[in-house]
A and B are shown apart, each in its own frame.
Chain A
Amino acid sequence: NAGVTQTPKFRILKIGQSMTLQCTQDMNHNYMYWYRQDPGMGLKLIYYSVGAGITDKGEVPNGYNVSRSTTEDFPLRLELAAPSQTSVYFCASSSRQAGGYGYTFGSGTRLTVV
């Protein structure tokens, strides 16, 4: 029972480069989310999805894109990386049927843009 798996765990990007953060869940959850965590700021929602083919913006979507072609996968794309995107990124999934909106978080991707 892997839960939510994120890859890579660490990455250093140069300004202007692009990359995709991978997220996969094996719990058949319909809802998936991407958050970024910055010191003293808590977690901010970037994008979310309520099912395959359906995505929507969260609080801080600028500079990011997502897709949801399958229930299991929810990759986050960074185009033209900027230093402001240096952060720790967390993917999460949840199921309404779990009761109480039970969220499962991945272990995170620490991204540094230099």
Chain B
Amino acid sequence: SQTIHQWPATLVQPVGSPLSLECTVEGTSNPNLYWYRQAAGRGLQLLFYSVGIGQISSEVPQNLSASRPQDRQFILSSKKLLLSDSGFYLCAWSWSGTGIYEQYFGPGTRLTVT
């Protein structure tokens, strides 16, 4: 079976500090990978998605970046955090290919920028 991991679970960082959130998937190959941000416990905003190693698509302009150094690893980064970067960050994966596939979500990282 497939499992998705995210760490850390919670993070408190000062404004201007760097950020690195990691997501890994087990039990599948060549998944599509996604980073979302959820603000105020409600709507989901898609930040990045990836269909393969080194292939990143950005949905919104921001001071965040994403990388996929390995097939099942997806990293969200920032060089300098802003207060507005606070939120709940969710990683998700789905099967690749032409089928109609649901996404499966990780447990999330709660980021507070102070």
Do A and B actually bind? no
A residues contacting B by CB (< 8 A) are none
B residues contacting A by CB (< 8 A) are none
